[in-house]
Amino acid sequence: MRSFESDIVTINRTPEDVFIFLSDFRNFSPLMPEQVTNWQTTGDQCSFTVAGMMNIGLRITEKVPFQKIVMLGEGKLPFELGMSAFISDQAGIAEVKLVVEAALNPFTAMAVQKPLGEFVNALIHKLKEVLEKNPEATA
């Protein structure tokens, strides 16, 4: 498995707020970068298309309150895929990191390394922006 880690960001919200927001895919729509299309969700499942890459489906499979959310790929994916959100409490303020893990052969890993890295960083920075600009954004 190859790991693609986002930057670690400090979000001026409680870990509980961030956890609640990330626990429901319906909140993810404003986080998606412009290369994501066909966004669909039921709350604990989502599917979308990344321009120039593929269709991706994810399902939330594990929640550790206020610390971790695990999402695993589902559907017709060409490789195993997962994404995890790690939330830590820094004196009542959330510190958050996203990690995408994918079972890729070396050739594919080289091809998707930059786009996946940019994708997780776009998500984490948009998460910070959305939660800090909108105090009501927690579901």
Tens-place pLDDT, residues 13-63: 999 999 999 999 999 999 998 888 999 999 999 999 887 677 889 999 999
d(CA 91, CA 109): 37
Using an 8 Å Cβ cutoff, are 104 and 79 in contact?
A: yes
60 and 44 Cβ atoms separated by less than 8 Å? yes
Share of the chain above pLDDT 90, in %: 69
Quickly state the pLDDT bin for 138 (edges 50, 70, 90).
low
pTM: 0.92
Q: Burial code of 43-78, b = ≥16 C-beta within 10 A, e = fewer?
A: eeebbbebeeeeebbbbbeeeeebeebbbbbeeebe
